[in-house]
Structure 1
């Protein structure tokens, strides 16, 4: 985008100033806690036990206006025999405070981690000895904060299983006892590094984090102007709105600030280049026309873009544990699919995905085989909503589409013997199947990763759709622009196959199943923001209207959902 990298230092400079002030607190805090509590370190606290029994009985504990909930904290202290956890860890307590104050850099909300309350209590500890009750409250609050923040960094704040029906990607502690993990974190001599290790290692996550800093810097500097509504702006037109368009594009780096204007109100060639760059970044038709779609994208507020980035950062946390070195990824909202081999992109092509009312689902499965010259058996939903209505209007539709009617045992039935006008999808006793060939709805090849959604990648005869900027046209499956190259790469470790043999097999029109040498993970994901390696930020339409639901949860009250492999005490 060309933003000055110094923008990214704004939050860090502010944080370092606050950290310097807090270091003064640390010097006093270490002394005060040490004097008042040294004799009690390693001893059981009856008051702490009482607090935890109250939390366990009521499923909530009020501490100076803060409500602590959940089963993790009381179980943590029970296994510690109710010893305070932070008494000799003042440095780590301060590091935690600095981290949670900076949690906005991760797209999170410091208030979720009691930042203000902990800072107030630490500041009080720097001025006077804390009472036993205050020491216990501070210890509990620090533990609750580190548990919650570490969990959010690792898994995301929002539970994806409540957002996406059918999602099967597991959130896992990877067999490590979460209580031991938190205890080791609190005791660590490298606290910041240990906490940072829970941040997603997905490259996209780190690029989104940089983009978040950039867009917050834009907000601090005033954002961008609104472009007034009006007729479509076309190149070479004179219009007063050209001034606002030019200013708008300069703010986000789509147009260089020093780009000369031939005339102030003229939509000239240089401005057209900037508009087309903007359209490319926003998944619009790159035509230089400033119509309703482009105008709407220009007038999305900087706050909305910041929230969009934050939503996708949480999505990145959902999948940070899921990515192997070699896999196929479908970016549903971005209309693209990629094959990564050993972490490097080997194939990347545009795809067509499901319509808004027939959404492509988010899930993970293993691709095990591909099929050349596939037949296509019409799924029940498409039969009811598409095929039967067309047959009622024109019984010749089957012949035109080279489709056959078969019994459930596979015997061909003469379609002329069926009264299509009175036929209903309910109880329909036949299958309708399209023969192999270039006319087939699945094209010449399909890639199978068995799943309950009956979704797969496949070729298509409708190549013109790939020229569209928005490509949500399918019934849920993923249509691929260049499937032959994908097949070649997937079979490159099989000596029986190369590109020439693939072409010959397809030309034969013979239906053929080919098992992959090794299964390949396929991840179907939903991103409405992408960031290139060069820092270019790409925004996409939320075609399935999912962002708002995630944002409400991201900014709302925290609710803990136990990972799949959680111990029974955490699940129940």
Structure 2
């Protein structure tokens, strides 16, 4: 009955969603049950500490009136969870076992391994308060203050580990990743169960993502911090490119830097020549860091090598935070686009079954980050030129080349869809026209478009610009995602080896008709942004932050948490009269 009672109370908490230290949990169902009134629930009469806890929490009751509606992104402060937690236990203290507090303090300090800041959680305040209470006879008010502070800290730390500290919706107004796939009510229930069973350490061990990529990032963070604590990695003198056959102090620095990063055997690090071992190490580094793998340590490679280790530590911390936002979404069958990595993958049952390179939006026409569902595929698509591209790209080409439209099989249409004679249009000030490119292999969308309805007119598609896939930096589109092998993805999305095998898809394309075909099952698609990769060798690779998204996340991650200070001295004078 106790478990059922707690679940009942917690379920009402999440009718509002959840916000803790800037971290949001959004509920999307429009159905809302009224939160039961708790104003009549009293503390256990003969428990003085419970009476004090009730006295502290009672003024909060009016701050959480019953809900009649639930907006999509309405959120609730962690105090709401604290209130309902103590309500279901009749305001009895939760931290009466000293071992629970010991586990809590150690676990708070250990949050550093996940890239969080232990000082955010005021563990020192709790430790000092615990020591003070052990050496004196604390009043019920002091015991209540300590208990409430421990519970708030416990929840704050665990939910940051579980879902992240930073609210991504505050950094991106279009953020629409919901909590489908992992009910936060289960998380909170598990936290409180661990406390009841005096297994606080287990709650902290299980709260962060358990996926291998996250574990790898945690290990990489520890390794980078160890390098930092030893003084960082060697710096390579900037200047001329270092090439095979060269020798001298700069090459010796390069060798030392490659050895420090694990790319070159340390026994070879003392030499001064640019030999085959250095060439192989430089190529390996360039490949992992999304640089041109030519074996020459040019300006770009040297700049990457000389990024301070602290900056790489921050980059890993930022991407661990992104992992806490999104890894719980990666379940079942889904397509994920790694924007900063210029690649796409299809997963089934959580395992990758297909990968391909992609081209994404240029920095000034960035591909947005969002989730949607792939619902249909367009074969032999036409392409309607978007207004921005019409104004900024196409019109200048038309003005400089009268044959541009016919060469690219583009037709001007009026508002009713009638084809216009290009010679009758004032191209210096065209009004009320649409440009549409005929279907065909040279169409800007290629032979196929993979559609997922969204507010940005973004989709996955084929492209005639296939040469651009060979580039290392592939932020080359106007926002949509160009896929290197789209027909393979189409076949996997339909997942119908009889009707929609490779031959069936080619037959559909051969008829030349522009046709939309719905998928038998909708497939989630996630457009995400990570600036690190975990290689099969367990080493972290760093990608260029093509859109400059890392810095805002880092700044928010470094902001102090807003947990109130614990002052037992003040609490002693604020007890019940």
TM-score clears 0.5: yes
Partner Cα separation in structure 1 for residue 49 and residue 135 of structure 2: 26
1:33 equivalent in structure 2:
none
- CA contact 1:373–1:443 (8 Å) conserved in 2: yes
Alpha-carbon shift at residue 420 of structure 1 (Å): 0.5
Partner Cα separation in structure 1 for residue 186 and residue 302 of structure 2: 52
- CA contact 2:49–2:143 (8 Å) conserved in 1: no
- CA contact 2:190–2:203 (8 Å) conserved in 1: no
Give yes or no for the alignment of 1:92 onto 2:97: no
Return 473-482 or 378-387, whichever deviates more.
Answer: 378-387
1:101 equivalent in structure 2:
109
- CA contact 1:338–1:348 (8 Å) conserved in 2: yes
1:381 equivalent in structure 2:
388
1:302 equivalent in structure 2:
309
**CA pair 531-50 structure 1, distance change in 2 beyond 3 A:** same
Give yes or no for the alignment of 1:47 onto 2:47: no
Give yes or no for the alignment of 1:397 onto 2:404: yes
1:531 equivalent in structure 2:
534
Alpha-carbon shift at residue 46 of structure 1 (Å): 3.8
3-state DSSP of counterpart to 1:412: coil
Partner Cα separation in structure 1 for residue 402 and residue 79 of structure 2: 62
- CA contact 1:333–1:541 (8 Å) conserved in 2: yes
Give yes or no for the alignment of 1:208 onto 2:214: no
Deviations 1:410-465 (Å, cap 9, x if unpaired)?
Answer: 22222111010233xxxx31211111112111111111111111111111111111
User: Segments of 4+ in structure 1 off by > 6 A?
Assistant: 54-59
1:518 equivalent in structure 2:
521
Match for 1:468 among 471, 486, 494?
A: 471
1:435 equivalent in structure 2:
438
3-state DSSP of counterpart to 1:338: strand
- CA contact 1:55–1:69 (8 Å) conserved in 2: no
TM-score normalised by L of structure 2: 0.82
2:121 equivalent in structure 1:
113
Count of equivalent residues: 507
- CA contact 1:254–1:278 (8 Å) conserved in 2: yes
Deviations 1:114-158 (Å, cap 9, x if unpaired)?
Answer: 111112223334444434343222212211111101211221000
Alpha-carbon shift at residue 281 of structure 1 (Å): 1.4
Match for 1:415 among 410, 422, 430?
A: 422
Alpha-carbon shift at residue 492 of structure 1 (Å): 2.7
Deviations 1:216-236 (Å, cap 9, x if unpaired)?
Answer: 122222220111110122222
3-state DSSP of counterpart to 1:436: coil
**CA pair 381-43 structure 1, distance change in 2 beyond 3 A:** same
Partner Cα separation in structure 2 for residue 559 and residue 542 of structure 1: 29
TM-score normalised by L of structure 1: 0.83
Mark the runs of 5 or more structure 1 residues left unpaired by the alignment.
1-38, 60-67, 561-572
Alpha-carbon shift at residue 406 of structure 1 (Å): 1.6
**CA pair 51-225 structure 1, distance change in 2 beyond 3 A:** same
Deviations 1:362-412 (Å, cap 9, x if unpaired)?
Answer: 111110111221111111221121112222222321112111112233222
Partner Cα separation in structure 1 for residue 53 and residue 105 of structure 2: 22
2:233 equivalent in structure 1:
224
- CA contact 1:43–1:83 (8 Å) conserved in 2: no
**CA pair 512-110 structure 1, distance change in 2 beyond 3 A:** same
**CA pair 80-312 structure 1, distance change in 2 beyond 3 A:** same
- CA contact 2:191–2:203 (8 Å) conserved in 1: no
1:496 equivalent in structure 2:
499
**CA pair 92-408 structure 1, distance change in 2 beyond 3 A:** farther
- CA contact 2:259–2:269 (8 Å) conserved in 1: no
**CA pair 179-458 structure 1, distance change in 2 beyond 3 A:** closer
Mark the runs of 5 or more structure 2 residues left unpaired by the alignment.
1-43, 65-76, 564-577
3-state DSSP of counterpart to 2:411: strand
3-state DSSP of counterpart to 1:294: helix
Alpha-carbon shift at residue 337 of structure 1 (Å): 0.5
Give yes or no for the alignment of 1:558 onto 2:561: yes
Partner Cα separation in structure 2 for residue 179 and residue 323 of structure 1: 21
Task: Kindly report which structure 2 residues correspond to 1:29-48, keeping only aligned pairs within 5 A, or say none.
Answer: 45-48=50-53
Alpha-carbon shift at residue 177 of structure 1 (Å): 8.0
Alpha-carbon shift at residue 324 of structure 1 (Å): 2.2
1:365 equivalent in structure 2:
372
Give yes or no for the alignment of 1:248 onto 2:253: no
Match for 1:318 among 296, 302, 325?
A: 325
- CA contact 2:463–2:482 (8 Å) conserved in 1: yes
3-state DSSP of counterpart to 2:388: helix
**CA pair 184-221 structure 1, distance change in 2 beyond 3 A:** same
Return 49-58 or 287-296, whichever deviates more.
Answer: 49-58
3-state DSSP of counterpart to 2:454: coil
Match for 2:242 among 210, 233, 250?
A: 233
Partner Cα separation in structure 2 for residue 213 and residue 148 of structure 1: 23
3-state DSSP of counterpart to 1:321: helix
**CA pair 501-334 structure 1, distance change in 2 beyond 3 A:** same
